[in-house]
């Protein structure tokens, strides 16, 4: 296991999860769809599982050619 690749995927996964949770309430508010707190919690759990799966089993990130 390449720890550098894992660290990069962890950074991308955490940032993606954070941005998703930041944008999701704004999106539903703009669409005029109220979300109960139970639905938000379920979406948060599912998004965290997806981020964790990406971090552990995600594809390798290519290194830029310098």
| Dihedral sign computed on CA atoms, order 16, 19, 22, 26 | negative
Domains of the chain, residue spans: 3-57
38 Rama sector, left if φ>0, alpha if ψ -120 to 50, beta otherwise: alpha
Q: What is the pLDDT of residues 6-61, one digit of tens each?
A: 999 999 999 999 999 999 999 999 999 998 989 999 999 999 999 999 999 999 88
pTM score, whole prediction = 0.85
The residues, ordered by sequence, that sit 6+ positions from 13 with a Cβ below 8 Å of its Cβ are 51, 52, 54, 55, 58
């Amino acid at each position: 296991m390449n720890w550098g690749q894992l660290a990069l995927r962890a950074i991308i996964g955490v940032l993606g999860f954070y941005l998703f949770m930041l944008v999701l309430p704004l999106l539903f508010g703009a669409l005029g769809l109220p979300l109960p707190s139970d639905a938000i919690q379920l979406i948060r759990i599912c998004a965290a599982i997806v981020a964790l799966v990406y971090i552990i089993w995600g594809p390798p990130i290519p290194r830029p050619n310098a």
